[in-house]
Amino acid sequence: MSDPCIICVAITGSLPTKENNQAVPITIAEQIESTHEAFEAGATIAHCHVRDDEGKPTSDPERFARLKEGLEKHCKGMIVQLSTGGRSGAGQARGGMLPLAPDMASLSVGSNNFPTRVYENPPDLVDWLASEMLKYNVKPEIEAFDLSHIVQATRMAKDGRLKGPLYVQFVMGVKNAMPADERIFDFYIETLKRLAPDAQWCAAGIGPNQILINEWSIAKGGHTRTGFEDNVRLDRDHLAPSNAALVKRAVEICQKHNRPVASWQQARSILGIPLRTA
């Protein structure tokens, strides 16, 4: 029997709007409902951004608190991962929700280009975010947009700035950053295994690369991410009706490759995140 595959659902992100797809959850109530459906379909990590009243990305800790509380109540056992990404805020505001002590938070450890700008992650901010995650016992998910980010994460784990074992997300298909290239993907896996043998990895593809990266990550023994943040379509001609529909597609790929889909208990055990009881 092969290892269980953890499916992460990135429910909202910073960019998708109702104009792109009516089913993208924007309000907290919509986010909780959409996550619940995705959880029932097999997702066990919810990667979360929040939006303000106009639907624009924000790092507002109060909104994150309401979302986290709703998810913990309605999706019991699911791992809640809050984004510290740079599209929602600037500087230390990006980590203002970490005192909420979510199960996980995303962490970028280096800079790169995005479609229309530089994604800035200066060393002092990265170190501060990492130290806050240590302080509040939040497991980081390292967002690797580039090979150097994988190497940097292993350095930070070695010198104690990050608590291991590492959980690294390979992100491919962002315009002006790393494309979905299978030989580079294989080299990512090889490099992570060489530098951090106890690490676990996941992968996400943007737009039409989502299904491709789901296939590669599931076939090659990793975990996988889907959801509206990365892609709003089932295929070129059809919008995805829900986050759950994208999760179901990932579940089918797991079945094809004989990978059991991780239950929330298995996901927590694989990542070393006990269920916190309030």
Name which of residues 117 to 146 contact Zn ion (CB under 5 A). Answer: none
Could you give the string, one character per residue 37-76, with x where binding to Zn ion holds by CB under 5 A and - elsewhere?
----------------------------------------
Residues in binding contact with Zn ion, number by CB under 5 A: 2
Torsion angles phi and psi, residue 137, rounded to 5: 55, 50
Q: Least distance (Å) from Zn ion to the CB of residue 141? A: 10
The neighbouring-strand residues paired with 170 are 144, 203
What number of other Cβ atoms are within 10 A of residue 127's Cβ?
Answer: 14
Of the listed pieces 62-70, 78-86, 147-155, 195-203, which binds Zn ion according to CB under 5 A?
78-86
Whose tokens are 């010198």? That residue is: 159
Whose tokens are 């089932």? That residue is: 234
Q: Which residues of 182-202 are buried (b: 16+ CB within 10 A; e: fewer)?
A: eeebeebbeebeebbeebbbb
User: According to the binding rule CB under 5 A, does residue 83 interact with Zn ion?
Assistant: yes
User: According to the binding rule CB under 5 A, does residue 226 interact with Zn ion?
Assistant: no
Residues with Cβ within 8 Å of 246's Cβ and at least 6 positions away in sequence, in order, are 9, 38, 210, 226, 227, 228, 231, 234, 240
Nearer to Zn ion, 83 or 210 (CB): 83
Q: Least distance (Å) from Zn ion to the CB of residue 106? A: 6
Distance between CA atoms of residues 277 and 197, nearest Å: 31
Nearer to Zn ion, 106 or 154 (CB): 106
Q: What's at 231, amino acid-wise? A: N
Task: Classify residue 157 by burial, with Cβ atoms within 10 Å: 0-12, 13-18, 19+.
Answer: buried
Of the listed pieces 70-78, 80-88, 111-119, 260-268, which binds Zn ion according to CB under 5 A?
80-88
Could you give the string, one character per residue 4-43, with x where binding to Zn ion holds by CB under 5 A and - elsewhere?
----------------------------------------
Q: Least distance (Å) from Zn ion to the CB of residue 88? A: 9
Q: Give the interface with Zn ion as residue ranges (CB under 5 A).
A: 83, 85
